[in-house]
Each structure stands twice: as C-alpha cells, then as structure tokens.
A and B are shown apart, each in its own frame.
Chain A
Amino acid sequence: MTPDWHDRLHSIEATEAGLASAGYIASRPIATAAYLAHHLQKPILVEGPAGVGKTELAKALSRWLGIGLIRMQCYEGLDESKALYEWKYGKQLLYTQILKDRLGAALGEEPGLDAALARLHGFGDLFFSEQFLEPRPLLRALREPGGAVLLIDEVDKADQEFEAFLLELLSDYQVSIPEIGTIRADVPPLVLLTSNSQRDLGDALKRRCLHLHIGLPDARLEARILAARLPGIEDELRRQLVAFVQQLRTLDLRKLPSVSETIDWARTLLLLHVRELDAAVVRDTLNVLLKFEADIETAEPRLADLLAASRRESVPIR
C-alpha cells in the first residue's frame, strides 16, 4: 500500500526542501538518506557525536510528513515485553474468573467430557488473542495505518540480544508473536536508529541499514541552521558566533561543542541582549558551550586569540 505522503519524497531536492520547511536544515547526504530510506524501504542508522541533530532528524521527518513519531529509548536491560508487546495479564485473570462463573451456563447440559471440551474449543483461543495484546512502541509503529516515523534512540545502549531481536523487524517490517503469528506492516514505517558509538554495533544490524554519519557542520551549514532555529537573531551576531564556534572546534577538547550547544549559546546571548561578541561575554557564557571543567580551562586562556581569529574568518551567512 502506498502511503499518502509517498509523493512528497519524489526527489532528493524535494526531501531537502521539505525537511527545511519543518525547520531542519539538512545537508545533502542527510536528504539523500531520507529519500533512499523510503524508496528502498530500509532503516537508517544515524551515527555521530552527541548534539548534531540525530534525534531531531526523526522529529523533523514526522512533522513534515504529518505522521506520528513513535520513539523508543534504548537502555541496558530493554527486552521484548517493553519494546514489542506484552499480554494484559490483569485482564486475562479477570476473564478467567468470569469464565469460571459462566462455565456451567456456557457448556450447558453436554453429556460427556469429550463433548464439553469440544464445545469449549469452539470459543477460540480466548486468552492469547489480539484483545489481550498490549502493543509497545515497535508493534505500534507496525500497526499504524498511515505509516509512522519510528525512532529507536541510542541503540548502542541496549544489549546485544536486543539488537538481534530487532533484525526481523528491520529487514521485513514484521514481527512474530508465537501465540498469534506474524504481524506485518501495511505501510512500512520510516525507521531511524541512532547511536553514539558507545559500542560497536553488530555487522548483521549494520548490513540491514543505510549508514548515515552526521558530523559537525561546516560554517555555512551551521549559520543556516541557526537562522532556521532562531529567526530573531541578527546577521552580524550570527556570523561572529558561528566563526567563533568553528574556531573553538580546532582546539584539542574532550567534548567539542556541537550544533545543539551552538543553538543554546545563541539563545543565551539573545537573552542577554548581546549584540557583539567580546572576550568578557564569551568567558561568562563559556559553560554553555563547553561541558567539561578541563575543556573550559583549556579554552579560557586562548579566548582572545580565538576571537581575533574568528574575526578574520569570513562566514557565508546566506
């Protein structure tokens, strides 16, 4: 079945423009990945440093295509019953009780045990049917009639067993539930998996995915992202800000500031009504950009140099 948002992804350019309209400035490879993910029906495995917009990509896709975002956060110990489905045990118990009370009436005056049993079988497999199934994120994503964006966040945090369990879902968009059978998606969801490379993912998982690596953006892209996220920011400040962050990334830091930090910083500066960067302002707000004490200590003595260097740099802000 073709979903009604199929036409929107008719070319890479359309994908790029569409994501931009949802407030996500995508580089060309990102747009290509989204386009191919739909047309080849393959999940995207997104890797990259924290804060470059991996999760945001999924949100933007769901906003743009007007379909639901189903998000599953992975953690150690995540298992089927939390990710896929669970039986509603309470309801099953309740039904057992009712059944006990009504058993006599239901079976009527059947003469022998065999006949009674045959009659009982006629009620169908009562307790393991869809009514008693509690769908969890993965199953929900498969059963969404108009399709959905399924975000499996930080898959590297889950156990290896869980990874193996995802394989069936990722390659065929179906899951097998022993008591019921195989449930297959009418409209395959767009699946995004994100990873911060805490551990190496298995080859089997990687083979089933398109692999997208989002790195730290270059100055032009970062300036465009800022403009899209903070429409109120003035061009001059934006230019200085981006140039400074780009300079800061040349230092040997434990955690380089990424896009989300740049956006936070820009927001901070806007709140403080800063119109131009100088060493004092930067020093006061550096903790927004750098999250480790050691990094701040490394950067602080070099702020003046960095600022000077960033003034020389020209950033294309259009």
Chain B
Amino acid sequence: MQPLLDFLRAARSAGLRISPAESIDAARAVEQVGFTDRTTLRDTLSLVLAKTAEEKRLFAECFDLFFSRPAFTPDQAEDATPASADSPLARMLLAGDQSGLAAAAEGAASEIEVANITIFTQVNLYTRRILERMGLAALDREIAAAPPATADRLREGRDRLREQVRELVQQNLALYARGQAEEYRNRTLTRTRLAAIDRRDHDRMRKLVRAMARRLAAQYGRRRKRQRRGLLDARRTIRRNMGWDGLPFLPVWKQEVIDKPKLVVLCDVSGSVAAMAQFLLLFLYSLNEALSGLHAFAFSGTLVPVSDLLERQPIERAIPAVLDRAGFGSSNYGQALADFAEGQMQLLDSRTTVIILGDGRGNRTDPRADLLAAMANRAKQIVWLNPEPRPLWGTGDSDMPRYAPHCRVAAVCNTLDALDRIIAGLLRDGA
C-alpha cells in the first residue's frame, strides 16, 4: 500500500483534488486489479481519481513522472579488475552493480523521508543525507586508504553516484513539492496589484481568473429565489390550505426571484488602466452562464463597442484587438460618457447594472458628471471600480469625487481578490 499512498500524495501535489473517500476507492480498486500490469493500473487509477478532462491530463503526467525512476546507467566497459573493498557501497561501486546502487539509494531516500522536500534549495541537503545514509563516510575513508588506481575508480564512482542521487531528489521535488509551490504562487498573484503583474505571469493569471469565474458561475448560474419570511403570500396560502377549509395551517411566504445580472461595462483602456481592464473583461466573459446580458465598451478618447470582438474570438486574441481599436490615448471621460448618452442609452433599463472601470482622471477635460447622473437614473445602479487607492481620489486631475455620488458602489479594485469580491457581491444580490 505504501507506493499507492506515495502516489496519492504526489497526485495531490500535482493539483488533483483527491478526497479520503476517493483514496479508499483507489485502494479497493487496486486490490481488485493488482499492481502487475501498469496500463491497467493507470486506467484504474485514472477512473477513480481524475474526474475532469484537465485532471485526466494532470493525472497522466503525474503517473508517468512517478513511475519513471532515474536510470542508474551501468558503467561503460571498465576493465573489471575486481579490487577488494570493505564497505558494501565501495563493493557495489567497484563491481558496477547499478541495480544494487539504485535499490540502496531508494531505500535510503525513503528512510530519510525525501518526500517531505518542499523547496528547491533543499536538494543539496537531501542529497547529502541520502549519501550519508548509504555510507559515504566509510567510502571516503576507504578512498583515502586505497591504492591510487582503486582510489581513482572509487572517486569517479562516488561522483557519478552523487549526480544520480541528486537526480532522484530532484524528481521527488517535482513530484511532491510542485503543488505547494504552485499554490503559493497563485495565492501571491491574487493579491498582487494587477497593474504590476509581469507579462510572464499573464497565462497563469488567466487560468486563475477563469477558475474564479467558474466558481461564481456554478454558484449563481441558475435562477434563484429567496424567501422573504414575514411577508404572507395570501393567494398561495389560501390555495395551499384549501384542504382545511381555508384555515391557514401552512402559511406561504412571498418569494423574490433574484434575476441574473444584466451588465453594461465601460472600460477605460488608456495606458494607466489597460492592464486592469483586460482582467475585468476576461472575468466577465468567463461568467456568461451567470449573466443574462453583457455589453462591453472600451474608451480612452471616444467610446467603442467591443462586445463583438470579445464574443467572436478567444480572449487572449481579443484583448489586443480591443486595445488596438480603443486604447492607449489619453483618457477623456466626458467624451466617453457623451458618446454613450448619445448612442447607447437604450441599453439601460431598471434591471441593468453599469460597471465603469477607470481611475476617473480625465486630463482636465469636462467630466460631464451630469451624464453619469442621467445614466444612474435610468439604470438600476452604477458600480465604479477604481484601481487607485482611495486617498488619491480627488487629487490632481481626478474627478472621482464628482462621479462617486452617482454610484451605488465606488470601490478600490486593484487585485484579483478585490475583483472577485466585488463581482461575487453583485451576483449574490442579483445586481
């Protein structure tokens, strides 16, 4: 059973979510099919442990890694003059007994619990511990005492052995420590300011955003009702209690149906906010099940509808196209609001939430807060997401204090965590 437990641990660290119940299933399944045939074992464990296409892929990777032990390649054509040696390690080295060495290394590795390795800086430490356990000290003494020819061969063998053991440790690191490292990275990324995230990490960020959106979509993807206890639904109460001559034994309360949100998004994609905009758009477009309508606009100077771009192609390609169409000018909020008021007002009704993403810095142009007020009157609510910290609102050319009174929510939103929190709030209350 120990190999199975080790494998489960490796699989968890590779990112598979394996519950205790599934571990038990795995053990029962393996008992049924046995360890002898690797293909069968692989099919079996894959059936029990990996429950989505993505998990199947991770599983296959992990399974292959787990069962590919580093090869202890035999020596090439040494003149095998069997020199006498005292310690078993030296004897194996001189005889070129690679399978013996491999077994000894594995044994030592499990004795010092190499599976506890967590970060790459520990590789040297664990390598040394394994070698010591295998009898490195005795070997060194023997090298010092041996005649020069034998000593050279032993030294060479020792160096090769050290490389092989290091490889073994590195493989264990890959198997057992990856999960923790990944998790740590993901956790940090969700708290990093979005504008400061390196381009290198964008792929990982997209995955994170999708995962968050998927979670929310699963939670809020259906029509929900909420009981409002205390408000009697007279009509349904009478109907329900007809059997008792209309005496209300079972009261029926009024329910309110929580609609899926209908969103109109205006994104500032001028240089200062562009990084943030792409994650917001990605987030919203990954949510589609939980939304009943979504229109996106981007602006820096004039307002440009971008829904078509975002719907037609994968988001990775759509975002640069959006930036191409609208981005990187200096922002002019008044102009953008005027454009919206002129052409798109019909999108707003009492069930629409308008989300505006921007720092509210209009480069000293007319802010046209009156137009925002008109939009607020027509729409259900306006939510303003500002990547700047609150103390900076209103400094310099920031028009935030003039916009904020018309918004139901004006929030700082500069990390993935904050974004997740705000959108979850919108979905919960049926924005």
Contact = CB atoms under 8 A, between A and B. Distances in A.
Interface of A: 12, 28-29, 32-33, 36, 39-40, 42, 44-45, 47, 159-160, 199-200, 203, 206-207, 209-213
B46 A206 contact: no
Interface in B152-202: none
Nearest to B42: A29
B44 A32 contact: yes
B43 A40 contact: no
Interface string B1-41: 00000000000000001010110010011001100000110
A172 to B, nearest CB: 13
B56 interface: yes
Given A12-B33, A36-B33, A213 B25 contact: no
A42 B51 CA distance: 14
B218 interface: yes
B40 A159 contact: no
Interface residue tally of chain B, by bracket? 20 to 34
Contacts of B46: 29
B53 interface: yes
B51 A40 contact: no
Contacts of A207: 19, 21-22, 51
B214 interface: yes
B33 A199 contact: no
Contacts of B56: 213
Given A39-B32, A160-B222, A200-B218, A32 B43 contact: yes
A178 B162 CA distance: 68
B175 to A, nearest CB: 23
B221 interface: yes
Contact of B51 (A12, A28, A32, A211): A211
B416 interface: no
B19 A36 contact: no
A160 B50 CA distance: 21
Contacts of A210: 47-48
Nearest to A38: B32
A199 B221 contact: yes
A217 to B, nearest CB: 16
B289 interface: yes
A36 B29 contact: yes
Contacts, number: 55
11 contacts: A12-B33, A33-B47, A44-B47, A45-B51, A47-B53, A207-B22, A207-B51, A210-B47, A211-B52, A212-B47, A213-B53
Contacts of B221: 199
Nearest to B39: A28
A203 B218 CA distance: 11
A29 B43 CA distance: 5
B53 A36 contact: no
B142 to A, nearest CB: 51
Contacts of A213: 53, 56
Nearest to B22: A207
Contact of B29 (A40, A209, A212): A40
A32 B289 contact: no
A206 B51 contact: yes
Q: Residue among B17, B19, B44, B222 with the most chain A CB within 10 A?
A: B44
A45 B33 CA distance: 20
A36 B30 CA distance: 10
A44 B19 CA distance: 18
Given A200-B214, A207-B19, A207-B22, A36 B32 contact: yes
Contact of A32 (B19, B25, B40): B40
A105 B420 CA distance: 72
A213 B289 CA distance: 24
Contacts of A203: 17
Interface in B48-89: 48, 50-53, 56
Given A40-B29, A42-B25, A12 B40 contact: yes
B53 A159 contact: no
Given A36-B32, A199-B221, A213-B56, A28 B21 contact: no
Contacts of A47: 53
Contacts of B17: 203
A119 B406 CA distance: 74
Contacts of A32: 33, 40, 43-44, 47
A29 B47 contact: yes
Contacts of A45: 51
Contacts of B48: 36, 210-211
Given A12-B33, A207-B19, A213-B56, A36 B51 contact: no
A36 B56 CA distance: 18
Contacts of B19: 207
Given A28-B39, A160-B222, A213-B53, A36 B47 contact: yes
Nearest to A215: B53
A36 B39 contact: no
Interface string B125-159: 00000000000000000000000000000000000
B218 A211 contact: no
Contacts of A200: 52, 214, 218
Contact of A159 (B22, B47, B222): B222
